[in-house]
Homo-oligomer: A and B are copies of this chain.
Amino acid sequence: MTARRSADQIHAALSAQIVSGQLRPGDPLGESALAGLFSLSRTPVREALQRLAAEGLVERGPRRAFVVRRMTPEALRDLFEALGEVEALCAGLAAQRMTAIARAELAQIIDSDSGDHAGYATLNARFHDALRLGAGNRVLAAMLEDLNRRSMPWRNAQFQASARRMQSSRQEHRAILQAIAAQDGDRAASLMRDHMATSLAVVLQMIRARG
């Protein structure tokens, strides 16, 4: 079901490279250069870049050129806070709305945590999917997906810098899931806020260390 439109392919490729850190903040994204790279014309490249800009992954630089988005500490604070609050919101809604079946699936996700590094990405994805679907609101789900995508580069970098953080993050996720399964929305929301605050602190410290 991979889209066959060229613009979609470029968008997906650039998005993946930005989120994975292959393209770093500030890197230039010239239309002609990308067109040459993908062996396409500038038109679909423009569409892809405009979509990435709308999603907040790239921004306009000098000469209105596109560059991979740079984030100030203040912007990162706002982004992580927003992500935490919306996730807390969804966690609370999920706690009160999830069906018995959905809760069973949640428990299964918790149990499937084998503890190895390789499985963390998929486990993390299932964690967020459970939240989005559990809340039962497509608009909130879309917002959460968007915030997740925008914060992904920084959260990934967080784990690349220190493997120990991955362990603590996993434990925090586990506690949140258990609170949701126990239908304790307030506790889930509170844990989520703490989780995001901790993540932000790690990211900011990492940025300071790098300069």
Give the size of the chain A interface in residues (CB under 8 angstroms).
Answer: 21
Q: Point out the residue from B51, B78, B85, B139 that lies within 8 Å of A89, measured CB to CB.
A: B85
A50 within 8 A of B: yes
Contact with B along A81-102 (1 / 0, CB 8 A): 1100110010000000000000
Contacting pair A138 B50 (CB below 8 A): no
Chain B residues with CB below 8 A from A43, complex form: 43
Contact with B along A133-151 (1 / 0, CB 8 A): 0000111100100010000
Q: Point out the residue from B75, B81, B139 that lies within 8 Å of A82, measured CB to CB.
A: B139
> Bound complex: CA of A54 vs CA of B79, how far in Å?
19
Interface of A is mostly: helix
Q: Which residue of B lies closest to A82 (CB)?
A: B139
Count of chain copies: 2
User: Among residues 96 to 128 in chain A, which have CB atoms less than 8 Å away from a CB atom of chain B?
Assistant: none
Contacting pair B81 A138 (CB below 8 A): no
Contacting pair B54 A139 (CB below 8 A): no
> Bound complex: CA of A97 vs CA of B184, how far in Å?
27
> Bound complex: CA of A140 vs CA of B139, how far in Å?
14
A172 within 8 A of B: no
Chain B residues with CB below 8 A from A78, complex form: 137-140
A132 within 8 A of B: no
> Bound complex: CA of A143 vs CA of B138, how far in Å?
15
Chain B residues with CB below 8 A from A137, complex form: 78, 81-82
> Bound complex: CA of A63 vs CA of B43, how far in Å?
19
| Selected A-B contacts with CB under 8 Å, 5 pairs | A50-B51, A78-B137, A78-B140, A85-B140, A89-B89
